[in-house]
Amino acid sequence: MSKKLRLIALSSLILSFNVFAKPVIELYKSPTCGCCKEWAAIMEKKGYEVNVNHARDWSDVKQEFGMPNQLMSCHTAVIGGYMIEGHVPESDIKRLLEERLENISGIAAPGMPQHSPGMARPGQEYKGFNVVSFDKTGHMKLYNKY
């Protein structure tokens, strides 16, 4: 095989891996929060790379995406141009990234729902909470119900 053909084949292989790679999650959390660490571990098991940013205040991130205060939770993530607040299941994040809706700036699982990812026991069904979408003006809409 010629050197040029090998280079083209290698470049194609590298590009094909990048097409299927999941975007990186930037996670903002308190250094002492254990449930946030659990949520990050779940995301990593699902194939995401998670960069953890320990902070005491990341309200500027929430303001940038227009997140209403009533949706607050213990951690905030940014992935693929969207904000994820709290213990949102990976399936909802995957759906958001696939749909790429322009009228949504993020989704949130408000508070710290007992049966949500990072809060539920391993293998336990997710239940008893809502995932809410929001836009930069603060308009909210039900995204998924558990």
b (16+ CB within 10 A) / e for 42-76? bbeeeebebebeeeeebeebbeebebbeebebbbb
Q: What number of helices (H) and strands (E) belong to the chain?
A: 4, 7
- What tens digit of pLDDT does each residue of 52-81 get? 998 888 888 898 899 999 998 888 999 999
**pLDDT confidence bin for 30, thresholds 50/70/90:** confident
Question: Which top CATH class is 23-145?
Answer: alpha beta
Model pTM score: 0.80
- What tens digit of pLDDT does each residue of 124-134 get? 999 999 999 99
**pLDDT confidence bin for 37, thresholds 50/70/90:** confident
Taking Cα atoms as reference points, which of 25, 56, 57 lies closest to residue 41? 25
Q: Coil, strand or helix: which one is 82?
A: strand
∠ CA 35-52-142 to the nearest 5 degrees?
Answer: 60
How far does Cα 48 stand from its chain's mean position?
Answer: 9
